[in-house]
Amino acid sequence: MKILLTAMAAMAETGGPSGRCRTLATAFKNAGMEVATCLAEDVNYKQISGIKNYFLETPMPLGLPKVIAKRLFPIVQKLGISARKEVKSFDQVLYFTGNIDYKYLKHSVENIRKAIKDFKPDVVYSEFNVSAIIAAKIEGKKLFATTSYPTQHHFANNPKLSHGLNKLLQEYGLPQVESALQLIDFADKLICPSIPELEPIKRDNVTFCGTFKRIQNAEKKRDKILVYMGNGTISPKKMLNSLIKNFGSSEYEVFMASKAFEKNDIGNIHIDKFWNFDTLLHEAVLFINHGGQNSVIDGLIHGVPQIILPGKVFERKYNAQSIADNNAGAILSPSDLATNRFLNVCTNLINSHEIRHNAATLGKKLLAAGGTDAVLRELTN
């Protein structure tokens, strides 16, 4: 079997789709399948050893000209403007990142069609890549696509953003959509990298595969607090100042990952652009994060209580509420960082055996769902 995988591209740091794509590509290759990718070489791109990557253009935010977008976007991130913008649906994510801009769609669909014609896959696998869904339908290829509860059309959508998309669909003779999220309905099979307890999607063609990761279960001393806020949720400087105020010189070693800072140690607070959280989470008493799906699931499989600051992003707000509803963590707002509430909630979670137990229980269910093996079974059925 031959599989072509592609993921949503963006100038911003958004490691979920591309990371899952790399994991799946490696798993498929190890299972004896012929695998290729069509991934944009954006900030999230990492080459996969032994797997050919076809060219895919990187979208520019809001569909702006490249020369303007490359200058404007770093300024927007540095000033924290993106953190103040409310994002109500995945349509808006696709719009802001430029993924449903008409000109980009035109180029990227043709990029993927070219890869399909050259590689001749049996299956096209889309990690939230709209262009891949369209290209697969045009070329008559079987289509697998990743889904999640908050990216469903009925959860939240914005039809006003679909003009360019529908123009392109009309040109290719494909059905019009109310929003880009309805394109997911084009898929023959949907894969949800979660479990029903967290994302209760009720569709016949959905497979819940839990996490793609496998971890060592040997318990270690827990004396660390980990912090990762991703992109566009809260100012890295604001978070760091709160950590210094509340946990400086505490009994815990605090590890903060942020591309906004150079590697540095401020007493017991350690800062770097990247930490191996797969190792550190197994030694953590608390995980403070932005509510991205990968972060939330990583925390659960290691049984770590979470404080989530989702900001104004719909998906992160959903994930945060799901964790709170399952009593595996708590939700805070950016304004809480400057108050006593932040430290009080952190302390309560660290000391709660019930919350740690609930997190560990959800983590075991995520690990038991099958991961890449579950996806492989669906591909070969």
- Name the one residue in this structure whose structure tokens are 């932040």: 342
Work out how many domains the chain is built from and give that number.
Answer: 2
pLDDT by residue (tens digit) across 354-378?
999 999 999 999 999 999 999 999 9
Verify that 180 and 279 share a domain, yes or no.
Answer: no
Is it the case that residue 220 has pLDDT exceeding 50? yes
As beta bridge partners, residue 264 has 271
Verify that 35 and 173 share a domain, yes or no.
Answer: yes
Verify that 47 and 140 share a domain, yes or no.
Answer: yes
Whether this prediction's pTM lies above 0.85 is answered by yes
Cβ atoms of residues 58 and 39 within 8 Å = no
Angle at 231 between CA 245 and CA 6, to 5 degrees: 150
E strands within the chain? 2-7, 34-38, 52-54, 123-127, 142-146, 189-192, 206-208, 224-228, 253-257, 264-266, 269-272, 284-289, 306-308, 329-331
Range 165-171, long-range pairs (CB < 8 A, 24+ positions):
165/100, 165/102, 165/105, 165/130, 167/102, 168/102, 168/105, 168/106, 168/109, 168/134, 169/134
For residue 96, being part of any structural domain is answered with yes
Verify that 27 and 168 share a domain, yes or no.
Answer: yes
Mean pLDDT of 254-279: 93
Look up residue 354 and give its two tokens.
């019930």
> What is the SS3 assignment for 74?
helix
Mean pLDDT of 214-230: 85
Cβ atoms of residues 136 and 126 within 8 Å = yes
Percent of the chain with pLDDT over 90: 78
- Report residue 232's pLDDT band, with 50, 70 and 90 as the boundaries: low
- Report residue 235's pLDDT band, with 50, 70 and 90 as the boundaries: confident
**Phi, psi (5° rounding) for residue 98?**
90, 5
Verify that 30 and 167 share a domain, yes or no.
Answer: yes
Contacting residues for 288 by C-beta, under 8 A, at least 6 apart: 225, 226, 227, 228, 229, 306, 307, 308, 309, 346
Where residue 259 sits, what CATH number does that domain have?
A: 3.40.50.2000
| pLDDT higher at 218 or 330 | 330
**Distance (Å) of CA 106 to CA 53, 97, 103, 119, 267:** 20, 15, 5, 20, 51
Write b or e for each residue in 56-69: b if 16 or more Cβ atoms lie within 10 A of its Cβ, otherwise e: bbbbbbebbeeeeb
Mean pLDDT of 143-154: 96
Alpha carbon distance 51, 35 (integer Å): 6
Q: What string of DSSP letters covers 338-373?
A: GSHHHHHHHHHHHH-HHHHHHHHHHHHHHHHT-THH
Mean pLDDT of 103-119: 98
> What is the SS3 assignment for 318?
helix
Is it the case that residue 6 has pLDDT exceeding 90? yes
Verify that 19 and 145 share a domain, yes or no.
Answer: yes
**pLDDT for res 81:** 47
- Report residue 18's pLDDT band, with 50, 70 and 90 as the boundaries: confident
**Phi, psi (5° rounding) for residue 374?**
-65, -40
Range 294-298, long-range pairs (CB < 8 A, 24+ positions):
294/15, 294/16, 294/19, 294/20, 295/228, 295/230, 296/198, 296/322, 296/323, 297/193, 297/194, 297/211, 297/366, 298/211, 298/213
Alpha carbon distance 311, 297 (integer Å): 18
Domain hosting residue 173, numbered range: 2-187
Is it the case that residue 214 has pLDDT exceeding 90? no
pLDDT by residue (tens digit) across 37-94?
999 998 788 899 999 999 999 998 877 777 676 666 555 555 454 555 688 999 999 9
For residue 262, being part of any structural domain is answered with yes
Mean pLDDT of 128-137: 97
For residue 126, being part of any structural domain is answered with yes
For residue 377, being part of any structural domain is answered with no
**pLDDT for res 316:** 93
**pLDDT for res 63:** 79
Verify that 180 and 236 share a domain, yes or no.
Answer: no
- Report residue 230's pLDDT band, with 50, 70 and 90 as the boundaries: confident
- Name the one residue in this structure whose structure tokens are 């569909």: 63
Verify that 176 and 92 share a domain, yes or no.
Answer: yes
Domain boundary among 167, 187, 207: 187
Alpha carbon distance 39, 7 (integer Å): 6
Verify that 9 and 148 share a domain, yes or no.
Answer: yes
Verify that 246 and 166 share a domain, yes or no.
Answer: no
For residue 61, being part of any structural domain is answered with yes
- The amino acid at 27: A
For residue 215, being part of any structural domain is answered with no
Verify that 42 and 157 share a domain, yes or no.
Answer: yes
Q: At what angle do helices 314-325 and 293-301 cross, to 10 degrees?
A: 20
Is it the case that residue 319 has pLDDT exceeding 50? yes
Tell me 124's DSSP state. E
pLDDT by residue (tens digit) across 158-203?
999 999 999 999 999 999 999 999 999 899 999 999 999 999 999 9
Tell me 263's DSSP state. S
Q: What does the mean pLDDT of the chain come to?
A: 92
pLDDT by residue (tens digit) across 336-348?
999 999 999 999 9
**pLDDT for res 248:** 94
**pLDDT for res 61:** 84
